[in-house]
Structure 1
Amino acid sequence: MTHDIIFSDATGLAALIRTKQLSPVDVVRAHLDRIEAVDPKVNAIVTVADNALDAAKAAEAAVLAGEELGPLHGVPFTVKDSIDTAGVLTQRGSPIFRGRVPDADATSVARMKKAGGILLAKTNLPEFSYWLESDNLLSGRSNNPWNLDRTPGGSSGGESAAIAAGMSPLGLGTDLAISVRGPAAQTGIVSLKATHGRVPMTGIWPRAPRRFWHVGPMARSIRDLALAFSQLAGPDGEDAFATSTVPFDAGAGVAPDRALRVGWMVGPGFGPIDAEVAATVQAAAEAFRGMGIHVEQVSIPALERDFALDVFNKLHVMEMKPAFREATAGRRADELYKMARTMLSLPDTSMADYVAAEQAAERLRDGYAAYFRNFDVLLTPVLPVPAHEHGIRALVVNGETVDLTYLQGATVPLNVTGLPGLSMRFGTSREGLPINVQLVGSWQAESTILHAASLLEGVSPVRGLHPTL
């Protein structure tokens, strides 16, 4: 029974709790026991919420009393440690913020609680959410539950590892260039980076700049992403980017006025892609074709003209350095981890390069807009390779050596443009590691990519696979 609980999805748990087939206390206790059993190997959990069991008892009492229940009533969830949680440590992976306890929940956390979710624990990350591995001076390195010698990614790597290992059914991560989609791919779970501004970033560091930042759900199933997103989306009156009042229905699908049209590509424009990853993308495309969906191999010329990772770096380094300087003012070098020191040492972008990058970003937005005149979904890789070894600084992909930041080649275009993207597993490498694909939609078309992903999930060759720890 415990195995069934810890590897169930949140939607299934909520249904069993609502019909009194399962107690919220048993669900929370099963996940706490799982944390105790496997987290010493994985190191995904930073802090366990002291009141999780008390909250579960209150949730059970509400069920027994016949009270009105939220869609996530009694279901535990975890939260990346850069996201504020009232009364629970939020230390951002840095000794600078050691012992920091917020007074208020981030908007995203408050909305999960309002839906009936129970905060279970906080999860590991790189310092300030800034690197491709979840490792820091405060809580150490997280490991991939599929292979402890591999990374679960960054920056939401603790979250991805916790969900993959059965320590949590559902969680919240943040995404600046890769950070919910990449870690999901490295551990074989699902995640959603919605259109920029759909989910408020209130209560998440840094407050500024926010134009490339997103917060989004990470989970076991596509229906969990849809359910969580339906609770998270919408303005809060504090995040000025979160202005959209377009409603989202967790059961919504693609608009019925035409059949779904899917394009797929593995490049050019993303950097080199491993052959196994490319084959998995093509297999997903063929799976769509087998459903009678119109599928074409495509290209987006704008991605070939302007490499989105270069555009992002020129814009974001210029914008983010003041936040780093403020956070680290007066601190010794030994209090800062690798990426903070690296960020502070980078030269400022010249004004000419900054303006050129802004123009390139507009060309990228136009390029995607032209694509989505003819298609509903774009199918791409998430990462160029499966989960890599800890501590590396370069990748060898198809014989080509590239900087590790090239992991972001297929994900960062969606942060530059703000478009929604979903990461889901559809393959397995020769080494037994997960391989995910990315489904991209047009502006505010989350329902379309969630619908397409649910179709793909139904024919997935990897459903029901879990790591053995």
Structure 2
Amino acid sequence: MIYFDATKLAELIRNREVSPVEVVRAHLDRIEAVNPQLNAVVTIADGALAAAKMAEAEVMTGGELGLLHGVPFTVKDSIDTEGLLTQRGSPIFKGRIPEADATSVARMKSAGAILLAKTNLPEFSYSTETDNLLTGRSNNPWNVDRTPGGSSGGESASIAAGMSPLGLGTDLAISVRGPAANTGIIGFKPTHGRIPMTGVWPRVPRRNWHVGPMARSVRDVALAYSLLAGPDGADSFSTTPLRFDVGVGASPVQPIRVGWLVEPGFGPIDAEVAATVQKAAEALHGAGCVVEPVRIPALEQEDALDIFWKLHRMEVKPAFAEVTAGHEDQMFTISKAMLATPDTTMVEFVLAEQAAERLRDGFAEYFQRYDALLCPVLPLPAHAHGLSEFVINGQRVPAAHSLSATVPFNVTGLPGLSIRFGTSGEGLPIGVQLVSRWFAESTILYLGSVLEGVSPARNLWPAI
């Protein structure tokens, strides 16, 4: 039961083949069994079993049920949950209990889903590894000596290890897709603004920040997305009503045009990762897509990571400085390092804004010719904890290079899907990334379902 996806669990519950109480208890038992090794779950929702009993009663009375009725879900601990600890990975927020659910959490509950637990993250969601002074370090269920990534690393590890079928993460530069690739699950970052950020700290800036569903199947992230997307009247970026251009699992009328790219544009990429992207391209070609290798000049001409740092550092430092003032001894190393970096000058900020526009224009031109882009998620499989640099193809690169294939799609707001399509020589998951034009999420959900159906790594889960 713990490795059934959310869609299957909802079907079994609806058909009275299994009760919500059995489902919730099975996942609570799994948390008790494996979380001590992973430290992915940080808070159990006290009301989960009571909510499951209520959901069971509603099934038995034959009333109308939500699409996720009785299905448990988990939430990254940066996303507000009413009456349940939301501590943002920081001693500064120890004991904090929100008075209201974030929009995304409220929408999951409205569909009948049951909040099971909160999951670990780096302090303030601000690192590619999940570690902090309050709740400690999370480990990868495929190898506990490796990172599950960040900042939604606790969420990805929970889902991969069968502690949760479905969850909510946030993605600033990598934080849904990278952890998903590290642990072999599905991570989905929709177009910027599709899912409201209401109830996620900091309130500003939000230009690069996204909420995204994480799960073990494409159909689950598609279902969650259909429930989560749409304006809420509070997040000003979230203004576009939901629409689909291609249904998940339905073949499009015309062949989908897919370009695939490894290098150049993303810097050095591990040979096993590059080979996995090529195999995914071949699989899409075999499924009837028009597939060819591409280059995107804007990716080579503009340094997306440099753009991101110059824009975001200037915008987020005031929010971080405000909450950490007088609490410097309670800050983790990443937050301290960020606050210690030199401020972006106004000239640098303007130049970075212009470079971001050129990058957006470059992708707009690309998507005139192609429907999707296939590329890496990460430059290498899950690495050991605490590394400050990597060696890829004989080249030494800083750890920040792990953002190189994801941050361009945060700077531009494009949607991206991470899905496992391979396994490294060390037995670690290798993911590929699908990107579509703005508001064409269904294109990559469809392509993801195609890859899922032929993936050599399908239905492989860690033996923890």
Cα gap change, 1:365/1:250 in structure 2, threshold over 3 Å: closer, same or farther? closer
Unpaired segments ≥5 residues, structure 1:
none
Within 2, Cα distance between the matches of 1:86 and 1:248? 31
Given the alignment, which residue of 19, 26, 32 partners 2:28? Answer: 32
Q: Per-residue CA shift, 1:428-466, capped at 9, x if unaligned?
A: 000000000000010000011001110111111111101
Q: Per-residue CA shift, 1:358-391, capped at 9, x if unaligned?
A: 1110011011111111111100000000000001
Residues 181-260 of structure 1: pairs in structure 2 closer than 5 A: 181-248=177-244, 251-252=247-248, 256-260=252-256
Within 2, Cα distance between the matches of 1:389 and 1:403? 14
Within 2, Cα distance between the matches of 1:154 and 1:334? 23
Deviation at 1:292, TM superposition (A): 2.2
Given the alignment, which residue of 44, 52, 67 partners 2:63? Answer: 67
Counterpart in 1 of 2:329? 334
Counterpart in 1 of 2:290? 294
Deviation at 1:252, TM superposition (A): 4.7
* 1:148 counterpart = 2:144: yes
Deviation at 1:298, TM superposition (A): 0.2
- 3-state DSSP of counterpart to 1:465: coil
Within 2, Cα distance between the matches of 1:292 and 1:29? 43
Query: Would you say the 8 A contact 2:249–2:449 is kept in 1?
Result: no
- 3-state DSSP of counterpart to 2:397: strand
Deviation at 1:256, TM superposition (A): 4.1
* 1:399 counterpart = 2:394: yes
Deviation at 1:246, TM superposition (A): 3.4
Query: Would you say the 8 A contact 1:426–1:460 is kept in 2?
Result: yes
Deviation at 1:249, TM superposition (A): 8.7
Counterpart in 2 of 1:344? 339
Counterpart in 1 of 2:304? 308
- 3-state DSSP of counterpart to 2:187: strand
Counterpart in 2 of 1:409? 404
Q: Which amino acid aligns with 2:402?
A: L
Given the alignment, which residue of 349, 353, 370 partners 1:354? Answer: 349
Within 2, Cα distance between the matches of 1:164 and 1:81? 18
Within 2, Cα distance between the matches of 1:450 and 1:133? 27
Within 1, Cα distance between the matches of 2:355 and 2:68? 42
- 3-state DSSP of counterpart to 1:58: helix
* 1:8 counterpart = 2:4: yes
Report the identity percentage.
Answer: 70
Given the alignment, which residue of 164, 168, 180 partners 2:176? Answer: 180
Within 1, Cα distance between the matches of 2:389 and 2:329? 25
Mean Cα deviation higher: 452-461 or 228-237: 452-461
Query: Would you say the 8 A contact 1:153–1:186 is kept in 2?
Result: yes
Q: Which amino acid aligns with 2:440?
A: A
Within 1, Cα distance between the matches of 2:243 and 2:268? 38
Counterpart in 2 of 1:441? 436
* 1:277 counterpart = 2:287: no
Cα gap change, 1:117/1:208 in structure 2, threshold over 3 Å: closer, same or farther? same
Within 2, Cα distance between the matches of 1:73 and 1:253? 23
- 3-state DSSP of counterpart to 2:410: helix
Query: Would you say the 8 A contact 1:270–1:307 is kept in 2?
Result: no
Within 2, Cα distance between the matches of 1:256 and 1:36? 44
Deviation at 1:353, TM superposition (A): 1.0
Cα gap change, 1:466/1:252 in structure 2, threshold over 3 Å: closer, same or farther? closer
Deviation at 1:258, TM superposition (A): 2.3
Query: Would you say the 8 A contact 1:199–1:235 is kept in 2?
Result: yes
Deviation at 1:350, TM superposition (A): 1.1
Counterpart in 2 of 1:363? 358
Counterpart in 2 of 1:466? 461
Deviation at 1:339, TM superposition (A): 1.1
Counterpart in 1 of 2:370? 375
- 3-state DSSP of counterpart to 2:323: helix
The count of corresponding residues between Structure 1 and Structure 2 is: 464
Within 1, Cα distance between the matches of 2:416 and 2:183? 17
Within 1, Cα distance between the matches of 2:337 and 2:184? 30
Q: Normalising by structure 1, report the TM-score.
A: 0.98
Within 2, Cα distance between the matches of 1:108 and 1:394? 35
Given the alignment, which residue of 95, 98, 110 partners 1:99? Answer: 95
- 3-state DSSP of counterpart to 2:369: coil
* 1:131 counterpart = 2:127: yes
Query: Would you say the 8 A contact 2:87–2:95 is kept in 1?
Result: yes
Deviation at 1:250, TM superposition (A): 9.5
Counterpart in 2 of 1:119? 115
Q: Per-residue CA shift, 1:238-277, capped at 9, x if unaligned?
A: 0000000133499456794521111100021111100000
Cα gap change, 1:96/1:80 in structure 2, threshold over 3 Å: closer, same or farther? same
Counterpart in 2 of 1:90? 86
Note the aligned Cα RMSD (angstroms). 1.1
Query: Would you say the 8 A contact 1:212–1:418 is kept in 2?
Result: yes
- 3-state DSSP of counterpart to 2:158: helix
Mean Cα deviation higher: 335-344 or 196-205: 335-344
Query: Would you say the 8 A contact 1:254–1:448 is kept in 2?
Result: no
Q: Normalising by structure 2, report the TM-score.
A: 0.99
Query: Would you say the 8 A contact 1:266–1:278 is kept in 2?
Result: yes
Unpaired segments ≥5 residues, structure 2:
none
Query: Would you say the 8 A contact 2:245–2:440 is kept in 1?
Result: no
Q: Per-residue CA shift, 1:290-322, capped at 9, x if unaligned?
A: 122110000100000001111101110011100
Q: Per-residue CA shift, 1:195-252, capped at 9, x if unaligned?
A: 0000000000010000100001000000001000000000000000000013349945
